[in-house]
Amino acid sequence: MADDSLFQINLVTPERILLTGMASEVILRTGEGDVTFLAGHSPLVGTVQPGVVRVVRPEGDDVRVAVHGGFTQVEQGVPLDADGAGDDTTGSRVTLLVGVAELAEEIDVDRARAALEATEARVAELGGSANRTPAEGEEADPERVEAEAALRRAQVRLEAVDASSATTTA
Amino acid sequence: MAGGQERILRRRIRSIKSTQKITKAMELIAASQIVRAQGRIAAARPYQEGMARIVLETALGDPAAAGRLLGTPEEVTRVLVLGIVADRGLCGGYNTSVFRATERLLATQEAEGIETRLVTVGKKAQGYFRFRGQAVEQSFLGMSERPTFADARDVAAAAVTPFVNGEVDLVVVVSTRFLSAGSQRVEVRQLLPLVDPRNGEQKADHQHEPGSRDIAPHEVDVKQGYTEFEPDAALLLVDLAPRAAETQIFAALLEASASELTSRQRAMAAATENAGELIKKYSRIMNRARQDTITTEIMEIVSGAEALRAGDEGDEAGLVIETTV
């Protein structure tokens, strides 16, 4: 029952548990770069950067989630009872805490595209760009920072959808 | 005169009845919303627990870095108080008890020479403090009954940012905690610096959680020094503290909304019951008034007949008997 190559994944937002269950792989972007968590990964606490999180299910299919920043924790020796068998096995658990997250399948592509165009126009108007790092000693314009964040969110959202439709058609 | 009084009473009873219908409806609405509010508290718990675990892990990871962000500050000269009440009244003592707790806190802080800033949630707070000449730095409206996480973020921007920027030493929240459907309590809690999870309070909290699958505190101690941090614990904590505070504000808002609804349900149930009693009381007075009118009328008829009989002697004695019966 306890499969050593699997671990528990919980993707939690403040308002609900978005995704929970077993997984064999989780790929995400932390503050230090992209990482893949497999079962038995050593305990870790880190930040999650806005981007697409890919969760590979035991059956081999993936679930894609657009996340807009948060934290992740990997724990070992956590009691697992995901199959509901009531056995007291332990294993690893990956928790992702993200303020805002959307399952790729729940994203409305047309709306996301419209949002992207709108935010792009807004950012251009304020003279910023999505992946700009503020210049040294530059006064941060809160409006521009906000618009850039919105643009990044729109990009991430579309990225999640695109990647997800690519895998289903392939 | 008597008939007039009856009409006035009937009108009053009708008015109380329609008020009763309104209070009854409000009671039922509140009751149905409580269930949803409780569901929202439960749905938000996994995130809070996850956040608490990460904070604990990080605090254990780098005890030295915890510094200003965890525990109780040694010297407090500037405090930000966040008061959470409702947008509407009609909920018994719910708002007033939070106001009282807030004012007591403000008074003690003033006595100690602590500089205080006040941020509030709820329309009632705005009116209350303005009337009393207490400056409110920022006031949030329209979120008390159904707070979303985005609302919590907005509040956090006002309550947490001054702490992050070093403008205040302490942030406290005055709000009503939803202990159970039957018990709510106004509490003053420290928001920032975060309550040090290593000093029991949060651990104790956790053990109360029925069915929670948290790892026991001693297991965490065993793991100490073994967890990796990306970036390192000190940097992580700087990112983490505002997010954790935001999470706690969200929890406080959710609990406050459930408490508000419970208070409203209770207040409206009492109002409905009172209305019922008033209706009973006025119906009695009205019935007596009506009875009085009837008695008076009979008396008038009887005495009229008496007078008639006295008028023409011996003429049809049976008449008196017929009218009185």
- For A13, name the nearest residue in chain B, comparing CA atoms only: B47
Residues of A in contact with B227 (CB under 8 A): 42-45
Q: Given pLDDT bands bounded at 50, 70 and 90, which one contains residue B314?
A: low
The answer to whether position B286 is within a domain reads: no
Token pair 């904590």: residue: B237
Average pLDDT over every residue of A34-47 = 87
Residues in chain A within 8 Å Cβ distance of B247:
14
Say if B257 falls within a structural domain.
yes
pLDDT at A168: 47
Structural domain for B183, as ranges: 28-270
Instruction: Give catalytic residues of B, as residue numbers.
Output: 91
**Does a structural domain hold residue B151?**
yes
Q: Spell out which residues of chain B touch residue A70, defining contact as CB-CB under 8 Å.
A: 243
| Residue A85: band (very low, low, confident or very high) from pLDDT cuts 50, 70, 90 | low
CB pairs below 8 Å between A and B: how many?
Answer: 87
Q: Judge whether B20 lies within some domain.
A: no
CATH number at residue B143: 3.40.1380.10
Q: Percent helix, strand, coil in chain B (nearest 5)?
A: 65, 15, 20
Looking at the domain assignment, is residue B293 inside a domain? no
* Residues B74-99, mean pLDDT to the nearest whole number: 90
B313 touches chain A (CB under 8 A): no
Q: Which domains does chain A have, with CATH numbers?
A: 7-104 (2.60.15.10), 108-169 (no CATH)
Phi and psi angles of residue B180, each rounded to the nearest 5 degrees, phi first? -160, 175
Question: How many residues are there in chain B?
Answer: 325
Mean pLDDT for B22-35 is 94
Question: Using the beta-carbon criterion (under 8 Å), do A73 and B53 form an inter-chain contact?
Answer: yes
- pLDDT reading at B99 higher than 50: yes
**Is B228 an interface residue toward A (CB < 8 Å)?**
yes
**Within A5-108, where are the H helices?**
none
- A100–chain B nearest CA distance, Å: 9
Question: How does pLDDT run across B233-289, given as a tens digit for each residue?
Answer: 888 888 888 899 999 999 999 999 999 999 999 999 999 999 999 999 999 999 998
Considering only the beta carbons, identify the residue of B57, B149, B231 that sits closest to A73.
B57
Report the b/e string of B283-322 with b at 16+ CB within 10 A.
eeebeebbeeeeeeeeeeeeeebeeeeeeeeeeeeeeeee
Measured between beta carbons, the chain A residues lying within 8 angstroms of B238 are none
CB-closest option in B153, B230, B246 to A44: B230
Selection from A78, A85, A92, A86 nearest residue A26 by Cα: A92
Tokens standing for residue A122: 């807004």
Q: Tokens in use for A5? A: 């190559």
3-state secondary structure of B314: coil
Q: Is residue B324 part of a domain?
A: no
Domain-embedded: residue B275 = no
SS3 content of chain A, % helix, strand, coil (to 5): 30, 40, 35
Q: How many domains does one find in chain B?
A: 1
Residues A169 and A28: their CA atoms lie apart, in Å, by 23
**Residue B294 resides in a domain:** no
| Average pLDDT score over residue span A37-51 | 87
Smallest CA-to-CA distance from A54 within A31, A36, A30, A76 is with A36
pLDDT at A3 > cutoff 70 = no
Indicate the residue of B213, B230, B239 with minimum beta-carbon distance to A79: B213
pTM, to two decimals = 0.81
